[in-house]
Amino acid sequence: MIAARLFWRIYLTLLGSLIVAAVLVAVLWSVVGETPLDVWSRMPVRLLEAALPPSEDPPGATAAAAGRLARAIEGDVTVLGPDGQPLAVAGRHLLRGDVFEDGAWHGEPGRHVWAFHLHDGRTVLARFGVALRRPGWHVLLVLVLVAVAVGFAALPIVARLTHRLERLRQGVERFGGGDLAARVPVRGQDEIAAVARSFNQAADRIQALLHAHRALLANASHELRSPLARLSVAVEMWEQEPSSSVRVEIARNLGELDQLIDEILLASRLDQLGPGGATEKLDLLALAAEEAARVGAAAEGEVVELRGEPRLLRRMLRNLLENAVKHGAPPVEVVVGRAPSGRPRIVVRDHGPGVPEGERERVFEPFYRPAGRAEAAGGWGLGLALVRQIAERHGGQARCAARPDGGSEFVVELADA
């Protein structure tokens, strides 16, 4: 129903525009168009001079030529001499007062008397047997026929256009109804194809975000079970026999829960935030030194200043260092400098067993746990996933590499803003 209304709206608008254009052209033709006087006044006078004998010939020759002209035009012809006296008359005797001038005529309407001035001073007065009028309604009829023809030709074009719009509308409705896999076919290179392409890209992005959130929720619920179970056991032990060791265990589990919930919330916010938040100019080396001191790591390098979000960059450095301490082995160090491309670079190194080559990309997945790894040993949680998200938010990237002397190396390059 909507497509039908749109089809008729576009089609009738096109036809109405063509009809209005036809009427305006006809009116313009009748107002400023070329008149019969304009047309006939440009008749070469030499044709009349060739048809009439020279003025020195006998009057009978001029009368015979005037008769031939009158028969040819099915009207009347009068030839006047230079002095205005008639030299020959064929048909009705025409006078200068009968001549069509300034849009007025004398005698029968549409049967005007025309004056043609020859170079030898003679004047030929002629009244044509066929009425000469402006073909206004003929022009209007032709233009209306053209409009109808164009309307029929435009019918399949408008039908195809509205059909593509209808497919686009149906795709949007299916997606809005919950079918996240619904996409719109992209055909052609016009504006409708561009809208369909943009919709498909937005739908891909929304589907990916929803799947990521579902996976995050499922993994988070699984990861929350362990600290909650340990906390429940510790609380029962505290109720039976309070001790400092039980208090430490409760505090450790509460801290783990708090950190996990904070990372889940931050990951959700990063998915929904725009391309940039409140930024300020900061010293990346100073920021790295502060975070390294928290875990007993070493920080070195050169002073690198850039604009960024301090809270997020601090969290990125903290996650990298805590990951190195948890999954690697000392000494842990962070080096701040610039990549060969000139972009700010952060390198966090440890001397642990390293990350196998097949898992160096997967460790950035939320809650990734290698096959065969015990739950008590823990996985990578959300820490490295947040590192990559924060790096991408600052126009950079994060990757994991192996070190020749053993251990792992996490490299983050940022945009030099």
Tell me the CATH number at 218.
Answer: 1.10.287.130
Same domain, 301 and 374: yes
- The answer as to whether 12 is a domain residue is yes
- Residue that is last in its domain, among 272, 307, 327: 272
Give pLDDT, residue 198: 86
Distance CA 65, CA 359 (A): 110
Same domain, 154 and 7: yes
**pLDDT over 80 at 378, yes or no:** no
Q: What is the pLDDT of residues 127-138, one digit of tens each?
A: 877 665 555 566
The last residue of one of the domains, among 131, 149, 168, is: 131
Q: Is the pTM of this model over 0.75?
A: no
The H helix count followed by the E strand count for the chain is: 10, 11
**Chain-centre distance of CA 4, in angstroms?**
26
Q: Answer whether residue 364 is part of any domain.
A: yes
CB burial of residue 344 (10 Å; 0-12, 13-18, 19+): buried
The total number of structural domains that make up the chain: 4
CA 262 to chain centre: 39
- Residue 218 Cα distances to 131, 212, 214, 366, 367, angstroms: 93, 10, 6, 11, 10
The per-residue pLDDT for 348 is 93
Cβ-based burial of 320 (10 A; exposed 0-12, middle 13-18, buried ≥19): buried
Instruction: Verify that 168 and 19 share a domain, yes or no.
Output: yes
pLDDT of 12 above 90: no
Asked if residue 149 and residue 113 are part of one domain, the reply reads: no
Q: Is the peptide bond before 59 cis (omega within 30 degrees of 0)?
A: no
**pLDDT (tens digit per residue) in 152-206:** 776 776 677 677 777 877 788 888 887 778 888 887 777 777 888 888 888 888 8
| CA–CA dist 101, 92 (Å, integer) | 19
Q: Are residues 210 and 236 in the same domain?
A: yes
Indicate if 139 and 23 belong to the same structural domain: yes
Rounded-to-integer distance, Cα 359 and Cα 381, Å:
14
Top-confidence residue, 7 or 72: 72
User: Does residue 192 fall inside a structural domain?
Assistant: no
Residues 126 and 154 in one domain: no
CATH number where 127 lies: 3.30.450
Both 80 and 141 in one domain: the answer is no
Mean pLDDT of 211-227: 65
405 and 306 fall within a common domain: yes
**Is the model more confident about 103 or about 382?**
382
What percentage of the chain has pLDDT greater than the value 70? 71
CA atoms within 13 A of residue 351's CA, in its CB half-sphere: 6
Q: Which of 241, 272, 303 is the last residue of a domain?
A: 272
> Which helix or strand (DSSP H or E) is residue 373 part of?
none
> Following CA atoms 72, 73, 79, 82 in sequence, which dihedral angle do they give, to the nearest 10 degrees?
-110
Same domain, 203 and 303: no
Q: What is the pLDDT of residues 298-341, one digit of tens each?
A: 999 999 988 888 888 888 898 899 888 888 888 899 999 999 88
Phi, psi of 206 (to 5 degrees): -65, -45
The amino acid at residue 102 is D
Note whether residue 187 is domain-resident.
no
Is 64 within a domain? yes
Could you tell me if residue 27 is inside a domain?
Answer: yes
pLDDT digits (tens, 9 = 90+) for 258-292: 766 776 666 666 665 555 556 788 899 999 999 89
Residue 7 has pLDDT above 70, yes or no: no
Residue 47 domain boundaries: 43-131
The answer on 9 and 143 residing in a single domain is yes
pLDDT in tens, 94-112: 887 666 544 334 445 455 7
Backbone angles phi, psi at 172, to 5 degrees: -65, -40
Task: Tell me, yes or no, whether 189 lies in a domain.
Answer: no
Mark whether 173 and 236 lie in a shared domain.
Answer: no
* pLDDT for 345 beyond 90: yes
Asked whether the beta carbons of 306 and 416 are under 8 A apart, the reply is yes
pLDDT on residue 91: 86
